[in-house]
Amino acid sequence: MSNKEMTKYELALSKYNTNLEDAVVAQEVEQLMAEKLSENNTTEVKKFLFNCIDLTTLKTTDSQESVLKFTEKVNQFDEEYAEMGSVAAICVYPNFAKIVSNTLEVEDVNIACVAAGFPSSQTFTEIKIAETSMALHDGATEIDIVINVGSFLSGDYESMCDEVEELKEVCKNHHMKVILETGALKSAANIKKASILAMYSGADFIKTSTGKMDPAATPEAAYVMCKAIKEYYLETGRKVGFKPAGGLSTVEDALKYYTIVKEVLGEEWLNNQLFRLGTSRLANLILSEVKGQEINFF
């Protein structure tokens, strides 16, 4: 196929090796963990991971009252555990952006909203744009969207990418995290392709999962995504962040993702401008390990 016949999306993908084998990826991740995981099991790393958390509440039962209390906990934490630093963001549904914005007192905590038809991304593009715009108007400083997985899997890269581009235009200089829903993509090859197309279309971060579908984040998906981020950076000079989310239930899970980011992307990515963890349950677990006693603060 000549360049003239290729779509711009196929041309973008052709610069990268997307012909990955799942078994090889799994083997490489296993080897990486065997060699490097234990050295990152330190208090210092855990404290850093706490500062990378997007503290998340995305429940059907969320209410103005529950989100207010959730936000007040972050304010209270800043007073009681100042030496720990804060979480990176509070992540909520868009209709709660205003309550978080009005309640949050900690300056360096972002307000992240899932938007654009989260978690399925199955609605009109106009609705996605309106929802994203309204969340930003109400105080969101970051937006997490989901790619149109159906379009991607059916090879309609144009529809998927156009939508991501349009939403990035709405977000302007606000961080836009693009969720790939890796559990639905099934293969390492698909995860690599979706990663590249999302970055090509303007993603500031690529994120594994919504947390609403199994499997959610896996080290294998993270490894493929981080490899894609590194290759994209070498090709374009643009640094894109990485966020695993969904199914992060142990401190060891967090350490695995830290290890992947450190080894694949390097020290430059080890800050909460380029690395986040989407979770609610991990905050207490990491806090407990850092402080050496069980703490159920959040």
**In degrees, to the nearest 5, what angle opens at C-alpha 172 toward C-alphas 169 and 178?**
70
pLDDT value at residue 5: 74
Q: List, for residues 133-182, the tens digit of each pLDDT value.
A: 999 999 999 999 999 999 999 999 999 999 999 999 999 999 999 999 99
Q: What's phi and psi for 159, nearest 5 deg?
A: -60, -45
Burial 83-120, CB ≥16 within 10 A → b, else e: ebbbbbbbbbbbebbbbbeebbebeebbbbbbbbbbbe
Question: Looking at beta carbons, which pairs linking 155-163 to residues 24 or more positions away fall under 8 Å?
Answer: 157/7, 157/9, 157/10, 157/197, 158/7, 158/9, 160/197, 160/201, 161/9, 161/197, 161/200, 161/201, 162/201, 163/116, 163/125, 163/128
> Taking residues 73-82, what's their average pLDDT?
95
Helix (H) or strand (E) holding 64: helix 64-80
> Positive or negative, the Cα torsion across 92, 97, 99, 103?
positive
pLDDT of residue 1 exceeding 50: no
Q: List, for residues 101-142, the tens digit of each pLDDT value.
A: 999 999 999 999 999 999 999 999 999 999 999 999 999 999
> Taking residues 204-214, what's their average pLDDT?
95
pLDDT of residue 92 exceeding 50: yes
Strands 241-243, 277-279: pairing is unpaired
pLDDT value at residue 4: 56
Q: In what order do the strands lie in the sheet with 142-146?
A: 241-243, 205-207, 175-179, 142-146, 110-114, 89-92, 53-56, 277-279
Percent of the chain with pLDDT over 70: 99
DSSP type of residue 110: E
**From CA 116, how far away is CA 210, in angstroms rounded?**
12
Residues serving a catalytic function are 144, 207, 243
Q: List, for residues 247-274, the tens digit of each pLDDT value.
A: 999 999 999 999 999 999 999 999 999 9
Which 3 state secondary structure label does DSSP give 175? strand
pLDDT-derived band of residue 46, with 50, 70 and 90 as boundaries? very high
| pTM for the structure as a whole | 0.95
